Structure formats: C-alpha cells, structure tokens
Amino acid sequence: MEEAGPATVADAERAEAAPPEERPGLGVLLWRAGWVVALVLADLWSKASVFALLENPATALARSCPHGHRRLHLFGPDAGWLTFMRSENRGAAFGKFADYPQLLVGGRILAVAFLIWLLVRLPVRRRWFSVAMVLVLAGALGNLFDNLFLERHEGETFGWVRDFIDVYFAHWEWHFPTFNLADSCITAGAILLLLSGLEADQGPSRADGDGSLSSPAR
C-alpha cells in the first residue's frame, strides 16, 4: 500500500474542515419569500402613489428644463437635483430592447424562474449572496408586473414599466435616466453580488450572524 503524500493529507484535512452546504429549511425560505413580497409591494405602491400624485391637477409641477419635462421638486427648485417625473419605459435599463418586447419580457420571465430556483437552493451560510438574490428577484418581479398586468398602449403587446425617480442637474441640463424602486433593488443586488465573493474568505462563524435574510431570528 502506498503512503499518502503531503498533498493528499492536506486535501483530506481541508475536506474535513470545510463546513457542510446546509440547504435552507422552510423557515429560511419563508423569510426570504417574505422579504421579496415586501419589496415588490413597496415598489408597486410607490409607483401607483407617485403616478397618482403627478397626475393630480392640484400638484404643482415645474417645467425646469428646456425639454419641457414637468417635475415635482422634492426639496424645492433651489435644490432640485432630486425630482419625481412621470415616465413610462418600453425597454430595459436606459430603454434598451424597447423594439423587442417579446424578447425582453420572455427574458425577464426566465430570469425570475432562475432566481427563484437559485434562492430555494442557496445554502444558509451564503447570507450576502442570498440578500443580493432577494433584491434582484424583487426588482425583476416589480417590473415584470408592469409588463404583464398594466393596461397596454395601442399596438403594444405588454404594459410599459412605470418610472418616476429623476436625478436632474439643471446647471448642466443633464439628468440620469428615470428609474423606480425595482431598478434600485436590482442595482443594489448586483453590487452585493460583486461584493459577495468576499464572503468565501469568511469563516463559518461570520456567516452565521443574526439579522440576515438567510435565516429568521431565533
């Protein structure tokens, strides 16, 4: 019989020391699902409320740019970089794929299905990764709701996504593309996905902290 070499012994020791991939139980899944539902409801409520406010004739809207866009300045016209502006988006971020609605909405449906599958199987110890997945899934569902359930414009197959948050700098006549809470969730989730690679360097004790979306409070 051959003796185990140093590399073989080291590999065996690492395998024994590695924490098991603990699958989420029912409580964890309900916790994650609860956060997804809460974020989706917050997104839909914010869209409906702000659109109703902007469409109310009593709301004082300012035409604060040469393009004639009517905005509601949240902190007054002198500090008018953050405004609400009614906008409907046929495409994805920055209006991409607006001419291919079937491809766009079909891709969103597939993405939602994949994210749900991933979130159900995600190990408990991957807490930041699970937070990122919750955010991205909630954002995708919020925008997909608009596509599938809002009233269609004439000649359109799907509803348009409601956007209203507008960052506008009048001095330079520049504004960031209008977005909504769902877009913010997706962006925050994407950033967390990039940062969650650092989680692999943490020990199991760091991954078991309280207050994450991976595990309900005990």
Hey, which residues are catalytic here? Answer: 163, 183
Pairing between strand 82-89 and 161-169? antiparallel
Do residues 108 and 138 lie in contact, with contact meaning Cβ atoms separated by under 8 Å? Answer: no
Q: What whole-number distance in Å separates Cα of residue 83 and Cα of residue 175?
A: 10
Q: Which residues contact 131 (CB under 8 A, 6 or more apart)?
A: 189, 192, 212, 213, 214
Are the CB atoms for 158 and 152 separated by under 8 Å?
Answer: yes
HSE at residue 16, side-chain half, CA atoms within 13 A, is 6
